[in-house]
Structure 1
Amino acid sequence: MLLSPTRLSQLLRTEAGCILLDASWHMPNSPRNARNEFLARRIPGSNFLDLDEVASPHDLGLKHMLPSGEVFAKACEKFGIEPSSRVVIYDSHGVFSSPRALWTFKCFGHQNVSILDGGLPRWAAEGFPTDSNPPQDSTKTATYPVPSLESKPVRSYEEVVSNSGLIPFQSPAAELVLDARSRGRYLGTDPEPRPGLSSGHIPNSVSLPFNLFLENNTAKDGSSYTTLLSEPQLRTAVVDTLGPEKAQAVFDGKVSVIASCGSGMTAAILWLGLQTLGVKQVAIYDESWTGYALRPSSRVEKSP
């Protein structure tokens, strides 16, 4: 599911039908604008996938929730994507929002999809070309039958609440919730970036900040970008968090995992890292902490 810039360059030369998507997304309090940055610089031939637009409406007003099959299929047809198309996704951080887009494609059964490890910054840092000319609308015609959403990779609020009363590794039915937010937000000592939203965590969840799965890199021009850690490093991060025995239970598939974060974005980094380690039983709580904490009936923990 991960491609280096060199491997992507080879694909673009040998596979005429390869579709590139820039799925950059920035936090609501960030001054950066992903669409404007796409217009200013992108990998040649890319389209912009707006994760907030290709999404389903939500009763609580949450953004970038999983789209319906109809919305997903319509977006694919707009980009010239068919069910058999090779799709490569990248973002402007390196590895940040592209895993969320990858997970979305996987939720609808699209298999031939990858992300560019290191994203646009690494692509440029390694000397590959970028495009700053006005983008042209795709002229490709495509038909994408409306797919069904696979239930295994996603969890609802009701499922998470039901699971929160169970203790992972003790109850056979319990799923392990891994919280990708910062440790301070998990403990309730740091505020949430969304004003008025309580910090804290879901009962019986475990803190595993998403940046523990990433490596920070600095290019020759001083720009920085993230890449996913190597498999041994990912394994070490899980073992350091859970301990050897519990980590092995996850690696062996004896305990299923639910990844959560602030709004369902960086949880996909944990999903990607665990998938890279061969852990298949990983789902994402789509609403994540925002949807959970917005509901007055939710139990909020603030202790380790």
Structure 2
Amino acid sequence: MTAQIDADALKALLDRGEVKIVDGSWALDGTDMAALYGESHIPTAQFFDIEAISDPSSGLPHMAPTPEVFAKAVGDMGIRETDHVVIYDRQGLFSAARVWWTFRLMGHEKVQVLRGGLPAWIAAGYPVLAGAGWIKGVNYTPSPKLDRVIEINTLRAHLGASDERVLDARPGARFDGSAPEPRAGLRSGHMPGSRSLPATELIRDGALKPVDELKNIFGALHITPKTQVITSCGSGVTAAIIALALHEIGHHKVRLYDGSWAEWGREDLDTPVVRSDQRMGGE
């Protein structure tokens, strides 16, 4: 299944009752996306709260939920593991990729992101609703795919492997260490051997760039069909955009480092940190 679906195709599925729609909007600045969902959302869409549907036990921001937490949350949205699910966000393409990745982590393969998000839906002339209708809860059975995530100790052991590549989705200045991190208590810089691939480089007009352009971008970073890619960012949200883009070009050897820089960059850890200008395409 392709990573994205356009608004016309989603509307057709919606009219036939063959899709479950999820608003996966989230913002780093703390904007109340649940409130905005209440003001306007795609008909039948349910709100996926990235902060609430997470694992708070690590102390890190919005870590992936346990299978039990995920199953309860999406079951309450009326979603079954066999449903075709489409995720969108209000920005076009930002946090929807994280929700897409979370569904896939739980073994849900029939999931896509709306190309261009809510802005594309509205631009196509399709309706939005306010409020939230009553939904009958169902049972959801997850089938976790733990090979789609990597934790810090495993990542430390893999750094520098010739057949692996760590791609960092943060803005280039944060990767270089020339700009501070937005979260307190974090060092500036990047993991040794990692490469900068700002998530914005993969997006145009609120959607992934065409497949040929994406292939050229990853080719410049020496990503081959045999390369195991590890994606990282500030806290695991935009790292999922890289994962989404790789899925779109048919590259499935991808693991997401969920702790990302919120964990690796902590001042109280002895993880190695490099400060340099090692931008996209550099060796």
* TM-score normalised per structure 2: 0.93
Which residue among 290, 294, 297 is the counterpart of 2:262? 290
Matched residue type, 2:147: K
Q: CA deviation at 1:239?
A: 2.7
1:229 maps to 209
Q: CA deviation at 1:45?
A: 1.3
Equivalent residue of 1:58, what SS?
helix
Matched residue type, 2:88: Y
Q: CA deviation at 1:108?
A: 1.1
Q: CA deviation at 1:70?
A: 0.4
1:66 and 1:131, CA in 2 relative to 1: closer, same or farther beyond 3 A?
Answer: same
Matched residue type, 1:300: V
Which residue among 167, 179, 185 is the counterpart of 1:178? 167
- Report whether the alignment pairs 1:137 with 2:137: no
1:34 maps to 33
Q: CA deviation at 1:71?
A: 0.5
Task: Measure the CA separation in 1 of the matches of 2:260 and 2:273.
Answer: 13
Which residue among 223, 226, 237 is the counterpart of 1:265? 237
Which residue among 196, 199, 202 is the counterpart of 1:213? 202
1:6 maps to 8
Task: Measure the CA separation in 2 of the matches of 1:229 and 1:204.
Answer: 26
Q: CA deviation at 1:110?
A: 0.9
Task: Measure the CA separation in 2 of the matches of 1:17 and 1:57.
Answer: 34
Q: CA deviation at 1:48?
A: 0.6
1:189-208 aligned at under 5 Å gives the runs: 189-208=178-197
**Range that drifts further, 188-197 or 263-272:** 188-197
Task: Measure the CA separation in 2 of the matches of 1:62 and 1:50.
Answer: 16
Task: Measure the CA separation in 2 of the matches of 1:209 and 1:199.
Answer: 16
Matched residue type, 2:80: E
* TM-score normalised per structure 1: 0.87
Equivalent residue of 2:25, what SS?
coil
Task: Measure the CA separation in 2 of the matches of 1:154 and 1:231.
Answer: 24
Q: CA deviation at 1:148?
A: 4.0
2:102 maps to 104
Please list the CA deviations of residues 93-128 of structure 1 after superposition, one character each: whole Å capped at 9, or x if unmatched: 111111111111111111221110111111101111
Please list the CA deviations of residues 40-61 of structure 1 after superposition, one character each: whole Å capped at 9, or x if unmatched: 11111111100111111233x2
2:281 maps to none
- Report whether the alignment pairs 1:161 with 2:152: no
